[in-house]
Amino acid sequence: LLDDAGRMAPTIFAEMSALAQRTGSINLGQGFPDEDGPAEVLDAAVAAIRAGVNQYPPGRGMATLLEAVARHQKRFYGVELDPETEVLVTAGATEAIAATLLALVDAGDEVVTLEPFYDSYGAIIGLARGRHVTVPLRGPDFRVDHDELRAAVSDRTRVILINDPHNPTGAVLDDATKRLIVELAAKHDAIIVSDEVYEHLVFDGLEHSPISTLPGARERSVTISSGGKTFSTTGWKVGWLSAPATLVSQILAVKQFLTYVNAAPFQPAIAAGLDLPDSYFQGAAATLQAKRDQLSEGLRAAGFTVSHPSGSYFVVADAAPLGYDDAVDLCRRLPSLAGVVGVPISAFCHPALAAEYSSLVRFAFCKKADVLARASEQLAALS
């Protein structure tokens, strides 16, 4: 994370998006959709601005959004939340993760995450002066080895931070693994922080189920999500978390000094999104599943070995069959070789696993069908 001068280096996403822009390449690096989300959501933001919803909203978030989050959790997962005390609006999931870890983790506390891990996890654990302990996701389907999970969690563990569905692998945690996480968290008195930003982007008929719904989990869980992925509004940075009231208060105490409050007019707009009928959510997942299949087919035809992601925006492609063992080097050259940008999986890993996963590249498929078709054609030049 640190450059040679000990400063925080630019994130891999900033670097790869800049590379795509500089070279005019197709950006399958940073995960953001290239089409707008539902008109109801966009129109609600415009209407809110025009209606004068433009000053500081309450620190916990606007009641319209807090209540919509509670309704959404009830509708999809049967979870009853008190919107006044058990929900907190944040500047994207990114701030939810940061405020939660900074509130809960003291210097020297251990935080257990899966590995590969989303880049902000490592950065914030570092800012909190915590110790980052990881559990590798093992290929080809990126599963958690239960013995490795048991070995990682101890009385030193303050937080078990999971991401389900998982970026960058697209894996969805199975029930037995989630049950073991709850059991270990209870045994060692740890808090479970669950980043579920891809909760609605799951495929093949699977249904997402928050870990907080398992017996014994609710009282020790912080569940994080975001409107960015579900409504194709990543630039709005509206996220939220739900947790027991005492935890929400602790996290709010930090959040108030990170961003104080969040952008007002986008809050009723995301609330309108959360209240959309089930058909919207099913349609979004089905559309994305078709994109997954399209890009996976293109990558396979180009000679990569391709993972089968059950959720998220991302597919993992192994470049080893094409003769490329170093995905970092390949990703730097991919713009000139094929006019495409991807992200090496090693950017989400500590050095040991980075070496093991050195030939893997993450490609985002949340792009228009014609863009994916062009990318596939261009990648065929690699073989």
Name which position in 167, 225, 226, 359 contacts ligand GLN (CB under 6 A): 167
Nearest approach, Cβ of residue 313 and ligand PMP (Å): 8
Is 13 an interacting residue with respect to ligand GLN (CB under 6 A)? Answer: yes
CB closer to ligand GLN out of 10 and 323: 10
Task: State which residue, 158 or 237, has the beta carbon closest to ligand GLN.
Answer: 237
Buried b / exposed e over 270-285, threshold 16 CB at 10 Å, is bbbbbbbeeebbeebb
Give the three-state DSSP class for 67: helix
Stretch that binds ligand PMP, among 1-9, 100-108, 208-216, 231-239 (CB under 6 A): 231-239
Residue 230 makes contact with ligand PMP by CB under 6 A: no
- Looking at residue 382, the DSSP 8-state letter turns out to be G
In whole angstroms, what is the distance from residue 176 CA to residue 157 CA? 20
Residue 93: contacted member of ligand PMP, ligand GLN, none (CB under 5 to 8 Å, by partner type): ligand PMP
In the complex, least distance from residue 93 CB atom to ligand GLN, rounded to whole angstroms: 9
Binders of ligand PMP among 92-151, rule CB under 6 A?
A: 92-94, 118
CA 69 to each of CA 46, 57, 212: distance values in angstroms, whole numbers, following the listed order: 21, 16, 15
Question: Of 352, 370, 357, 354, nearest to 317 (Cα)?
Answer: 357
CB of 167 to ligand PMP, least distance (A): 4
CA angle at residue 261 from 259 to 263, to 5 degrees?
100
- Partner from ligand GLN, ligand PMP, none contacting 11, C-beta within 5 to 8 A by type: ligand GLN
Is position 30 an interface residue for ligand GLN (rule: CB under 6 A)? yes
The yes or no reply on residue 29 touching ligand PMP (CB under 6 A) is no
For ligand PMP, which is the closer residue by CB, 86 or 195? 195
Cβ distance 99 to 258 under 8 Å? yes
Cis peptide, bond prior to residue 116, ω within 30 of zero: yes
Q: Provide Rg for the chain, Cα atoms.
A: 20
- Among residues 38, 57, 228, 339, the one that binds ligand PMP under rule CB under 6 A: 228
Least separation in angstroms between CB 323 and ligand PMP: 30
> Can residue 233 be called a binding residue for ligand PMP (CB under 6 A)?
no
Distance CA 14, CA 20 (A): 10
Does 31 engage in binding with ligand GLN (CB under 6 A)? yes
195 binds, among ligand PMP, ligand GLN, none (CB under 5 to 8 A by kind): ligand PMP
| Total interface residues for ligand GLN by CB under 6 A | 5
266 Cβ contact list (under 8 Å, min separation 6): 45, 48, 227, 233, 236, 237, 238
Examine residue 195 and tell whether it contacts ligand PMP (CB under 6 A): yes
Taking the C-alpha atoms of residue 1 and residue 304, their distance in angstroms, rounded to an integer, is: 29
Identity (one letter) of the amino acid at 235? G
C-beta of residue 242 within 8 angstroms of C-beta of residue 73: yes
Write out the binding residues for ligand PMP, residues 302-361 only, by CB under 6 A: none
Residue 301 CB, nearest approach to ligand PMP (Å):
27
- CA contacts within 13 A on the Cβ side of 32: 14
Give which of 88, 101, 152, 173 is closest to 130, Cα–Cα.
Answer: 101
Q: Is 239 in the site for ligand PMP (CB under 6 A)?
A: yes
Q: Which two tokens stand for residue 10?
A: 């630019």
Sign of CA dihedral 118, 226, 130, 210: negative
Give the shortest CB-210-to-ligand PMP separation in angstroms: 14
Q: Which does 30 bind (CB under 5 to 8 A by kind): ligand PMP, ligand GLN, none?
A: ligand GLN
Binding positions for ligand PMP, rule: CB under 6 A: 31, 92-94, 118, 163, 167, 195, 197, 226, 228, 234, 237, 239
Q: Which residues bind ligand GLN (CB under 6 A)?
A: 11, 13, 30-31, 167
